[in-house]
Amino acid sequence: MEGKQEMLNRFVERCRQAGLKITPQRIAVYEILINSHNHPTVEEIYEEVKKRYPFVSLATVYRTVETLEQMGLAKKVCYWGSSARYDANTEEHHHLICVKCGAIRDLYMDQELSIPEELEGFKTEGYSVNVYGLCPDCRKESQKDS
């Protein structure tokens, strides 16, 4: 993964090109997403931004995440419950998802799946695998019970 500072610089550069105002709140949204390893929801990002900028609105955070997505700097990973989870790591990678607590970890697989270039009439562009299971913490919890 690239350095965080480069990622932030690129975001500022893209905003400039798109004629978007570069506000500290916008920068904070992206920074929090970059530093988070658990693929946060917009609400979770909002809670973090609020610690630094108490007057930020949830709508601003939503719009910023949307902008990041449109710029290709963030990706929606999956839905957990009713909330979308986001990732600033836009490299091709996969995910391990805990079915109990909803933790999402990045997964890099050595093995490539052979996906045909055309599938059911689709021209394929990529794939990502979600592996579901119990995370180490939840496994420990369930061992305690038994």
Of 2-10, 17-25, 98-106, 109-117, the window that binds Zn ion (rule: CB under 5 A) is 98-106
Of 8-16, 52-60, 88-96, 114-122, the window that binds Zn ion (rule: CB under 5 A) is 88-96
103: contact with Zn ion by CB under 5 A: yes
Of 30-38, 50-58, 96-104, 120-128, the window that binds Zn ion (rule: CB under 5 A) is 96-104
User: Per CB under 5 A, which of residues 122..141 are in contact with Zn ion?
Assistant: 135, 138
Give the residue with the Cβ less far from Zn ion, 16 or 76: 76
Return phi, psi of residue 127, to 5°: -155, 160
- Of 139, 115, 140, the C-alpha closest to 129 is 115
How many of the chain's residues bind Zn ion (CB under 5 A)?
9
Q: Roughly how many angstroms between the first and final C-alpha of the chain, as a whole number?
A: 40
Beta bridge mates, 79: 84
Q: Report the nearest approach of Zn ion to the CB of residue 95 (Å).
A: 6
138-to-1, 43, 94, 133 alpha-carbon distances in Å? 28, 23, 20, 10
**Residue 29 host element (H or E):** helix 24-35
d(CA 17, CA 58): 25
Q: Which of 87, 111, 133, 142 binds Zn ion (CB under 5 A)?
A: 87
Q: Please give the residue ranges that form the binding site for Zn ion (CB under 5 A).
A: 87, 89, 98, 100-101, 103, 106, 135, 138
